[in-house]
Amino acid sequence: MALDKPAIFPWQSALWQRLMGMRDRLPHAFLLHGRQGVGKLAFAQAMAASLLCESPQPDGVACGACLSCGWLAQGNHPDFRQVEPEDRSEGDDEAGEGSAPKAKKKSRFITVDQIRALGDLVGLSSHRHGLRVIILQPAETLNANAANALLKVLEEPPPATAFILLTHQLQRLLPTILSRCHKVAMPVPNKDESLAWLRAQGLADPAFGLAFTGGTPLAALEADTVEVREEVESLTQHLKKGGRIDALSVGWARGDFATAIDILQKWMYDLSSLILAGSVRYFPEHQSTLQGIAKSVDLPRLLDFQRTLAEARAQASHPLNVELQLEALLLRYAQLFPSPARP
Ligand SMILES: [Zn+2]
């Protein structure tokens, strides 16, 4: 696997210095944990590049010019692996999800075979000057057998091998794995840092994406496309009407059901958050409209609708008829407002 562009983001520089100070007494396993979209993977890859580099710079950053850096950039470093859920074909998902799909798709799990395959790496002597680095992400996708296999490796750590585990959901990892890792909480940039960084990446109006993705800059950068803006704009225009929405006129030409569900879930989150906590997270620009329609909302129905959306999201990857399903959801949305919304 080729490394994209290992990067240390501004909000990570203090952490970077701290970890570089540990180079000479490296733990066998790091566990980087934190929210999605704060740059965990890029940071882990920068660490891997640094640890494998033959002449790192004074601040520890990989030189980018040595043989090892070249191998990493080309994706064929013999002492490096990045383990994550793989594309699978029929029948090779041992997690037992029941009906194995015929089409090739991304597995939801890291399998025990993937962990066993690491034995080939750590069992041999390393190709260069000693260290091998394994990134494993996200660690919450290890299925039970894979987690146990990894645990065995971590209990008797192979020499000169650094594991870097990543997780968005620390609470889903086995305590026995947690206890074998040096845990590192990945910093979350504050809003001003995020906005400044997004502006530096060339976004003219970074506040939109940052709010829409819940405040993490990398997710914001990815989400802030013309298409997403148009979809958000198009659907929220209708949702703003509350009980007066005309569900049959919405249309959804693009047909991306997952995006529609995402927008709906965030809209409902803000609506319930306004009622229960008096604040919004995703649509600050529509706060006053949300306040208006929140006055006539039936809260139990709203909470019930949120559960329906969560179920719809689980099936969002292969709906039969996107437009029909969305219409059905929006008809239910209209019923959340038993009395007409006051403007
Ligand atoms: Zn180098």
Which amino acid is located at 167 in the chain? T
| Rounded distance between C-alpha atoms, residue 198 and residue 217, angstroms | 7
pLDDT score of 254? 63
C-alpha of residue 65 to centroid of ligand 1, in Å: 5
Q: How confident is the model at residue 76 (pLDDT cuts 50, 70, 90)?
A: very high
Report, as an integer, the average pLDDT of 297-305. 94
Phi-psi map region of 96: left, alpha, beta (phi>0 left; psi -120 to 50 alpha): left
Cα separations (Å) of 276 from 211, 279, 280, 283, 306? 19, 8, 10, 16, 14
Q: What percent of the chain has a predicted confidence (pLDDT) above 70? A: 87
Please tell me the distance between residue 74's alpha carbon and the centre of ligand 1 in angstroms: 13
Domain positions in the chain:
10-185, 225-334
User: How much distance in Å is there from the Cα of 16 to the middle of ligand 1?
Assistant: 17
Kindly give the distance from the C-alpha atom of residue 139 to the centroid of ligand 1, in angstroms, as a whole number.
27
Q: Does 95 score more than 50 pLDDT? A: no
Under DSSP, the state recorded for 171 is G
Mean pLDDT over the full length of the chain: 87
Indicate whether 68 pLDDT > 80: yes
Q: What is the pLDDT confidence band of residue 341, given thresholds at 50, 70 and 90? A: very low
Rounded to the nearest angstrom, the distance between the alpha carbon of 67 and the centre of ligand 1 is 7
Give dist(CA 176, CA 151) in Å, integer: 7
How far apart are alpha carbons 87 and 93 in whole angstroms?
A: 10
pLDDT at residue 342, as a whole number: 47
At 94, the pLDDT band (50, 70, 90 cuts) reads very low
The mean pLDDT of 41-46, rounded to a whole number, is 95
Question: For residue 191, is pLDDT > 70?
Answer: yes
Q: Which two tokens stand for residue 290?
A: 């949300």
pLDDT for 224 equals 81
Query: Using CA atoms, how far apart are residues 113 and 145, in angstroms rounded to an integer?
Result: 9
Neighbours of ion ligand 1 (CB under 5 A): 53, 62-63, 66, 69
Taking the CA atoms of residue 247, residue 252, residue 253 and residue 255 in that order, the dihedral angle to the nearest 10 degrees is -140
**Amino acid 1: pLDDT:** 46
How far apart, in whole angstroms, are the C-alpha atoms of residue 300 and residue 318?
Answer: 29
Q: What's the CA-to-centroid distance between 44 and ligand 1, angstroms?
A: 16
Same fold, 10-185 and 225-334: no
pLDDT above 70 (res 318): no
Do the beta carbons of residue 306 and residue 268 sit within 8 Å? yes
> Mean pLDDT throughout 114-127?
78
Quote the CA–CA distance of 65 and 208 in Å, as a whole number.
38
Tokens linked to 33: 């944990």
Question: What gap in Å lies between CA 90 and CA 183, rounded to an integer?
Answer: 36
Please give the distance, rounded to the nearest whole angstrom, from the Cα atom of residue 115 to the centre of ligand 1: 27
Assess whether pLDDT exceeds 80 at residue 268. Answer: yes
**DSSP label at residue 128:** S
CATH number of 225-334: 1.20.272
| Cα(61) to centroid(ligand 1), Å | 8
DSSP-H helix ranges across 53-143: 67-74, 112-123
- Tell me what pLDDT residue 249 has: 86
Please say if the pLDDT value at position 24 is more than 90: no
Q: Give the Cα separation of 331 and 329 in Å (integer).
A: 5
Asked if pLDDT for residue 90 goes beyond 50, the answer is no
Would you place residue 319 in the very low, low, confident or very high pLDDT band (cuts 50, 70, 90)? low
> 154 alpha carbon to ligand 1 midpoint, in Å?
27
Distance between Cα 53 and ligand 1 center (Å): 4
The pLDDT tens digits for 214-237 are 888 998 998 888 888 888 988 999
CATH class of 10-185: alpha beta
Peptide linkage before 157 cis (omega within 30 of 0): no
DSSP 257-318: HHHHHHHHHHHHHHHHHHHHHS--SS-GGGHHHHHHHHTT--HHHHHHHHHHHHHHHHTTTS
CA dist 131 and 164 (Å) reads 13
pLDDT surpasses 80 at 177:
yes
- Structure tokens of 102? 């015929």
Q: Using pLDDT thresholds of 50, 70 and 90, give the confidence band for residue 339.
A: low
pLDDT at 157: 87
* pLDDT, tens digit (0-9, with 9 covering 90-100), for 270-282: 999 999 999 999 9
Closest-CA residue to 20 (of 78, 59, 55)? 59
